[in-house]
């Protein structure tokens, strides 16, 4: 029976960071990953593949389930992916399942433990709940979001107080007290950037020792009040307009993540990562289109995709998650930050002269 570690937690808590750390520190071991994303395209899967977003199909050990929650509507997709991995040759020695930020954890565990198709193939080893220590008290005070946190913590065999270094003393104390009240006796580990020893995550057999009443599925998959939408565009951003959008408040938005292309920088891939009041913009490598021909991958699929667009792989792929009206509002704002048709027609030579407060900040 292949052990499954279920990684749950609210949006921005660091689930993908934990998975990336585990994959980087289990070299020589065959660990498979299934990532669930509410959005149509799984940005987290792109991160785990090292930023490779031209080829987004599943590979041998990294699978994605997009466009819904595995605990509410995507159960069959999850069972199929687990079944394929468990019967692959060679089979993985462990499977990590990352739920979307609002998937009911016990409902997912129930699918893995009780579906006839998975009988004698897998077992749920443990449920790990990630918590953003700094943001947790604020989310807990939101009556719409609190049920999601209660569900995830109630299901936990281990709670990870992630981003512990970014949290103040009161947030640390408050988070511990809430966790203790919701799930008495659960082990709690503090972490930074999801950096945990694999022995604390894999092959722990924690689920087997959990009290029976904590394994009962009490989840309500319909209580999640947020939606996810995606901006996929092959036009670059006007840096001044994008900077203005990044600098303003986004009421009703809980998560923004993805890859950016700036009109003034034809070389670098930018990434945006925002959760709660933490907002970061950084560089994440180089576009294939900026590389010399002899440095491009030999994969014919990549070569074919690069030839389909005049600016090769340069594009936008950004997910926004929040209250429905707020998400539509910010998508309109983000689209307004793209180059207009007239600006696009002027070409990269003219784009280079646009005032750019974003790349200037990186140079400084």
Residues 211 and 139 in one domain: yes
Segment of 262-266, 302-306, 319-323 carrying the highest mean pLDDT? 262-266
Same domain, 347 and 210: no
Domain boundary among 184, 215, 246: 215
For residue 285, what are the domain limits? 227-363
Across residues 334-363, what is the average pLDDT? 92
Q: Which residues contact 169 (CB under 8 A, 6 or more apart)?
A: none
128 and 88, same structural domain? yes
Place of tokens 């937690």: 9
Q: Is residue 76 part of a domain?
A: yes
The answer to whether residue 221 sits within a structural domain is no
Task: Enter the DSSP assignment of 135.
Answer: T
Domain end call among 160, 187, 215: 215
- Residues 152, 48, single domain; the answer is yes
Same domain for 78 and 57, yes or no, is yes
The pLDDT of residue 212: 67
- Determine what percent of the chain is predicted with pLDDT higher than 70: 90
Angle (deg, nearest 10), helices 146-155 and 105-114: 40
CATH number, domain at 308? 3.30.1220.10
The residue from 215, 250, 271 where one domain ends is: 215
Q: Is residue 241 part of a domain?
A: yes
Give 357's Cβ-side CA count (13 Å radius): 8
Q: How far is CA 317 from CA 39, 303, 348, in A?
A: 11, 20, 20
Q: What is the mean pLDDT of the chain?
A: 88
Average of per-residue pLDDT across 155-178: 95
Model pLDDT for residues 108-150, shown as the tens digit of each residue: 888 888 889 998 899 999 999 999 999 999 999 988 888 888 8
In this structure, what CATH number is given to the domain that contains residue 95?
Answer: 3.40.50.300
Tell whether 358 and 239 lie within a shared domain. yes
Same domain, 334 and 208: no
Rg of the Cα trace of the chain?
21
The count of structural domains within the chain is 2
In-domain check, residue 118 = yes
Is 116 inside a domain boundary? yes
Per-residue model confidence as pLDDT tens digits over 17-28: 999 999 889 888
- Residues 26-47 pLDDT 10s: 888 899 999 988 776 777 777 7
Residues 6+ apart with CB under 8 A from 186: 153, 156, 157, 158, 159, 179
Report the pLDDT value the prediction gives residue 13, as an integer from 0 to 100.
92
Assess if residue 284 is contained within a domain. yes
Q: How many Cβ atoms are within 10 Å of 116's Cβ, its own excluded?
A: 6
Is 296 within the bounds of a domain? yes
> Same domain, yes or no, for 138 and 173?
yes
pTM, two decimal places: 0.85
184 shares its domain with 260:
no
Per DSSP (E only), the strands in the chain are 2-9, 31-37, 62-66, 94-98, 122-132, 158-162, 188-190, 227-233, 253-260, 268-275, 278-286, 316-322
34 close to 6: Cβ distance less than 8 angstroms = no
Same domain as 163, residue 141: yes
Whether 220 maps to a domain, the answer reads no
| Of 1-10, 206-215, 332-341, the least confident | 206-215
82 and 191, same domain (yes or no): yes
For residues 55 and 182, membership in a common domain is answered with: yes
């Amino acid at each position: 029976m292949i052990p499954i570690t279920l990684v749950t937690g609210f949006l921005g808590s660091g689930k993908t960071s934990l998975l990336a750390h585990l994959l980087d520190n289990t070299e020589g071991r065959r660990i498979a990953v299934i990532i669930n994303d509410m959005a149509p395209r799984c940005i987290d899967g792109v991160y785990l593949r090292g930023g490779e977003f031209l080829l987004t199909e599943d590979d041998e050990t990294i699978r994605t389930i997009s466009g819904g929650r595995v605990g509410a509507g995507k159960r069959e997709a999850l069972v199929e992916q687990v079944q394929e991995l468990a019967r692959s040759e060679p089979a993985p020695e462990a499977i990590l399942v990352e739920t979307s930020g609002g998937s009911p954890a016990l409902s997912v565990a129930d699918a893995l433990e009780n579906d006839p198709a998975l009988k004698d193939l897998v077992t749920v080893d443990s449920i790990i709940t990630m918590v953003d220590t700094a943001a947790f008290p604020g989310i807990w005070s939101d009556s719409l979001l609190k049920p999601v946190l209660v569900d995830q913590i109630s299901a936990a065999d281990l709670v990870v107080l992630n981003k512990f270094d970014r949290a103040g003393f009161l947030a640390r104390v408050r988070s511990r007290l809430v966790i203790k009240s919701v799930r008495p006796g659960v082990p709690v580990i503090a972490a930074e950037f999801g950096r945990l020893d694999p022995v604390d995550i894999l092959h722990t057999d924690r689920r087997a020792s959990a009290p029976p009443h904590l394994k009962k599925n009490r989840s309500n998959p319909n209580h999640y009040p947020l939606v996810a939408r995606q901006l996929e565009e092959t036009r670059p951003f006007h840096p001044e307009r994008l900077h203005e959008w990044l600098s303003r408040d986004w009421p009703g938005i809980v998560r923004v993540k993805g890859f950016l292309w700036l009109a003034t920088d034809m070389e670098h891939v930018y990434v945006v990562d925002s959760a709660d009041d933490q907002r970061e913009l950084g560089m994440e490598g180089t576009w294939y289109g900026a590389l010399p021909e002899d440095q491009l991958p030999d994969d014919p699929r990549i070569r074919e995709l690069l030839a389909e667009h005049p600016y090769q792989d340069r594009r936008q792929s950004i997910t926004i998650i929040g209250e429905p009206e707020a998400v539509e509002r910010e998508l309109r704002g983000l689209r307004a930050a793209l180059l207009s048709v007239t600006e696009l027609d002027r070409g990269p030579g003219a784009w280079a002269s646009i005032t750019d407060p974003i790349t200037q900040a990186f140079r400084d």
